[in-house]
């Protein structure tokens, strides 16, 4: 853990519980937004691939054989 994070946690422990809950709420909301953004980004990146007619490759196809 970085020193800054350690200091922040130490300070958070000294705050009244209502302020701790408010900060936790903000952090959890940010985590939720990031998760939603990641899901949206993945959906956009994969959009249209279900109609792609590229050949299917197996693990055997991907193993390079040395002779």
Domain ranges for the chain: 1-43
Tokens of 16: 């009244």
Residue 63, SS3 per DSSP: coil
Q: How many angstroms separate the Cα of 32 from the Cα of each of 1, 2, 9, 24, 48?
A: 22, 23, 21, 12, 26
- Per-residue model confidence as pLDDT tens digits over 8-61: 999 999 999 999 999 999 999 999 999 999 999 999 998 887 777 777 777 777
Q: What is the pTM of this model?
A: 0.55
H-helix or E-strand spanning residue 33: helix 17-46
Q: How many angstroms separate the Cα of 50 from the Cα of each of 47, 53, 58, 61?
A: 7, 8, 17, 21
């Amino acid at each position: 853990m970085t020193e800054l994070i350690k200091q922040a946690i130490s300070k958070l422990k000294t705050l009244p519980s209502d302020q701790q809950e408010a900060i936790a709420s903000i952090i959890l909301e940010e985590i939720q937004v990031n998760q939603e953004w990641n899901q949206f980004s993945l959906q956009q990146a994969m959009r249209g691939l279900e109609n792609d007619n590229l050949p299917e490759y197996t693990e055997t196809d991907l193993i390079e054989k040395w002779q």
